[in-house]
Amino acid sequence: MRVDHDMSSNAVVNVCAQTVCVTGAGGFVASWIVKLLLWRGYTVKGTVRSPDDPKNGHLKELEGAKERLTLCKADLLDIESFKEAIYGCNGVFHTACPISNDPEQVVKTAVNGTENVIIAAAEAKVGSVVYRRQLVRCIWVLTGALMLWLMDLVGLIFSFAKPPR
């Protein structure tokens, strides 16, 4: 794979021939992964709960998004939605994370959703799967209410951080 860059603008000149899927593409960390992949010349299939939701608008504004970004509707518990999104991809970045105040629901959805993504990737003969999980979510399940304060603190810090543009 060779990607050339226009050094005067840092823009990608030649597009790489690889396609990757980023699950949970609308999330904070995933948005930055999508931005970097587009900048590197990859074609990206991003999974989101609702492709037309305005909260995913920042993804459509990224450099290269019009040409190389497709947002796919997916649900962690619906393996078929991931089979469609992952088909034809060379790699998968699994960043999707369930959101719930019920620790049991978070664990169940995270485990079953990750299993669905891995099965879909295996069936599509994807070469690589990169798995990323939020530490705060994992700790929440273990410590319960103690994490409320830390989550408020982390939320305050990240409320000042903007998604990539």
Write the pLDDT tens digit of every residue in 109-163.
888 888 899 899 999 999 888 776 554 444 444 444 444 444 444 444 444 445 5
Which residues fall within 8 angstroms of residue 94, CB to CB, at 6 or more apart? 23, 24, 114, 117, 118, 129, 130, 131, 132
Q: Do 65 and 38 meet the contact criterion of CB atoms below 8 Å apart?
A: yes
- In the chain, alpha helices (H): 28-39, 57-60, 65-68, 79-86, 103-123, 135-143, 146-159
DSSP type of residue 54: G
Instruction: Please report the domains of the chain, with CATH numbers, ordered by start residue.
Output: 5-159 (3.40.50.720)
Which residues fall within 8 angstroms of residue 60, CB to CB, at 6 or more apart? 66, 69, 71
- On the question of pLDDT at 106 being above 90, the answer is no
What mean pLDDT is reported for the chain?
Answer: 78
Q: How would residue 9 be classed by pLDDT, with cut points 50, 70 and 90? A: low
- Give CA–CA dist 58/14, Å, rounded: 24
pTM, 2 dp: 0.73
Other Cβ atoms within 10 Å of 105 Cβ, number:
12
